[in-house]
Amino acid sequence: MFNTVPKRYDLVNRVLTLGFDGRWRRRTAKLCLVTRPARVMDICCGTGDMALHLAQLATSDVEITGVDFSEPMLEVAKYKAAARGLEHKVTFSTGDAASLAFADGYFDAVAVSFGFRNLTYHNPMRDKYLSEILRVIRPGGKFFIVETCQPHITPIRMLYHFYLKRLSSKLGALISGQMGAYRYLGHSATEYYNAQGVRRLLTDAGFGHVDFKPLLWGIAAIYTTRK
């Protein structure tokens, strides 16, 4: 599915979120760097926005790696890194979250932006992905997630679901020319876990205390947890 969208992927994100997605990734990148990691992975990096925020904000001694299994998405990420003069600060490599080519405890921090839902929503590989992410984080290292969430206030939640199912999928399809990918977005985001559900998912997988920050009435959220 992701091989069909890279050309207009960033544009669709900006339009569907009115540009908020960029602010949310940047905020997550800042939170991540406050922990002073020496090695960070952006897992499911797609077109690289989170890794590029990290690269812009980090000192040059921080090793930043973006991993994704979609070559076409990674091509866009590499192009953007070169266009912004950041190609020396970030490495993009092909890889499946189910079997990461890194030693146990290699990363001080792992971040994921809008890819956690793909790994965990009705995904039979979910437990494998979570255990693999846990494996590559060092003990005491952190995992940062920015993802769509469920607003707590019922009328806002209803309005948000209407937007996701009726408008965003049509708008995404119109801009990208890809109906399937944006129908999936609408459905998966509508049905995705609330904060309590994500907390349970992470603690069941062996992560520690989960900190939760709602964004824009809870339509999205940043989760921070520790190995």
Contact criterion met (CB below 8 Å) for 33 and 61: no
Q: Smallest distance, Å, CB 69 to ligand SAM?
A: 4
Out of 4, 15, 79, 96, the residue judged to bind ligand SAM by CB under 6 A? 96
By CB under 6 A, how many residues form the interface with ligand SAM? Answer: 19
Say how far apart CA 29 and CA 51 lie, in whole Å: 8
Does position 56 interact with ligand SAM (CB under 6 A)? The reply is no
Which of 46, 141, 172, 218 binds ligand SAM (CB under 6 A)? It is 46
Between CA 102 and CA 107 the distance in angstroms is 9
Minimum CB separation of residue 213 from ligand SAM in Å reads 17
Q: Counting contacts by CB under 6 A, is residue 49 touching ligand SAM?
A: yes
Q: Whose Cβ is closer to ligand SAM: residue 113's or residue 150's?
A: 113
Kindly indicate which of the ranges 32-40, 95-103, 132-140, 210-218 contains the residues binding ligand SAM, using the contact rule CB under 6 A. 95-103
SS3 annotation, 82-151: HHCCCCCCEEEEECECCECCCCCCCEEEEEEECCHHHHHCCCCCHHHHHHHHHHHEEEEEEEEEEEECCC
For 226, the enclosing helix (H) or strand (E) is strand 220-226
Instruction: Assess 160 for contact with ligand SAM (CB under 6 A).
Output: no
Binding mask 97-136 for ligand SAM (x = CB under 6 A): xx--------------xxx--xx-----------------
Q: Residue 34 carries which side chain, given as an amino acid letter?
A: V
175 in Cβ contact with 15 (< 8 Å): yes
Question: CB 115 → ligand SAM: shortest distance, Å?
Answer: 4
8 Å CB contact between 205 and 134: yes
Q: Work out whether 172 is an interface residue with ligand SAM (CB under 6 A).
A: no
What CA–CA distance (Å, rounded) separates 140 from 132?
A: 16
Of 70 and 150, which CB lies nearer to ligand SAM in the complex structure? 70
Q: Tell me which residues touch ligand SAM (CB under 6 A).
A: 2, 25, 44-46, 49-50, 68-70, 73, 96-98, 113-115, 118-119
